[in-house]
Amino acid sequence: MIFPCIDIMDGKAVQLVQGRDKALEAEAPEEMLRKFAAFPQIQVIDLDAAMGRGSNDGLVRVLASKAAIRAGGGVRTVERARALVEQGVRKVIVGTSAFSESGINHEFLQALRDGIGRDRLIVALDSKYGRIVVKGWREATALTAEEVLGPLEPTAAGGVTSMEDVRALLAMNVHVAIGMAMYTGRLKLEDLAPASVAQE
């Protein structure tokens, strides 16, 4: 399945390069949601919450009232995960807090599973030079994605720039979250829409 991405910062839809530098500012999040209407679920990341400098909870609630969304950003506690679910989010994405210095943070993931349900939980694996990175791409762990992918739902995001990438990932039964390539036009919405991909 393909998930268009809306990353929110200061109430605006943006795209960052490796979680740091703003590469572009898109249309209003609600307008992006309208453009993505053909997709069964949209991925929304609250970058302000992820960076610990506030949140866009009101906007996330509005988006969740208009579409099926999976959302993350700053999910460091079970309470935060529950708050997202209460805002109408279908699935909660956890990144940095899913890992500790010794590996997977099983205790926290277990608490999340118990708190919101396993079917609502997604773990994000950001990877750079083969290692999982956390804290907005600023810290590398000793883990590789391959080491932790087994028990986690396979989701690929980042670096997906062509229909060949999309087809290869879908053929491996890996869900694909796409942001930058869609915003810049390298991948066309009409080519990624569920009906178009299913026909190929």
Listed by start position, the domains of the chain span 2-199
pLDDT of 111 over the 70 cut: yes
The pLDDT confidence band at residue 196, using thresholds 50, 70 and 90, is low
> 160 CB contacts (<8 Å, ≥6 apart)?
166, 169, 176, 177, 178, 181, 187
- Which architecture does CATH list for 2-199? Alpha-Beta Barrel (3.20)
pLDDT over 70 for what percent of the chain? 88
Give DSSP secondary structure letters for 13-48: EEEEETTTEEEEE-S-HHHHHHHTTTSS-EEEEEHH
Active site residue 165: no
- CA–CA dist 187, 117 (Å, integer): 34
Pair 134, 128: CB distance under 8 Å: no
The pLDDT confidence band at residue 20, using thresholds 50, 70 and 90, is low
Active site residue 126: yes
Q: What is the mean pLDDT of the chain?
A: 85
Pair 137, 126: CB distance under 8 Å: yes
- CA–CA dist 136, 139 (Å, integer): 8
DSSP 68: -
The pLDDT confidence band at residue 107, using thresholds 50, 70 and 90, is very high
- The single residue of 7, 46, 48, 57 carrying the catalytic annotation is 7
pLDDT of 157 over the 70 cut: no
Tell me what the mean pLDDT of segment 91-119 comes to: 89
Tokens matching residue 14 = 């943006």
- CA–CA dist 108, 112 (Å, integer): 6
- The single residue of 46, 48, 57, 126 carrying the catalytic annotation is 126
Tell me what the mean pLDDT of segment 87-102 comes to: 88
Tell me what the mean pLDDT of segment 169-189 comes to: 84
pTM comes to 0.82
Q: Which helix (H) or strand (E) holds 181?
A: helix 180-183
DSSP 135: T
- CA–CA dist 56, 63 (Å, integer): 11
Considering only the C-alpha atoms of the chain, give the largest distance between any 2 of them, rounded to a whole number of Å: 44
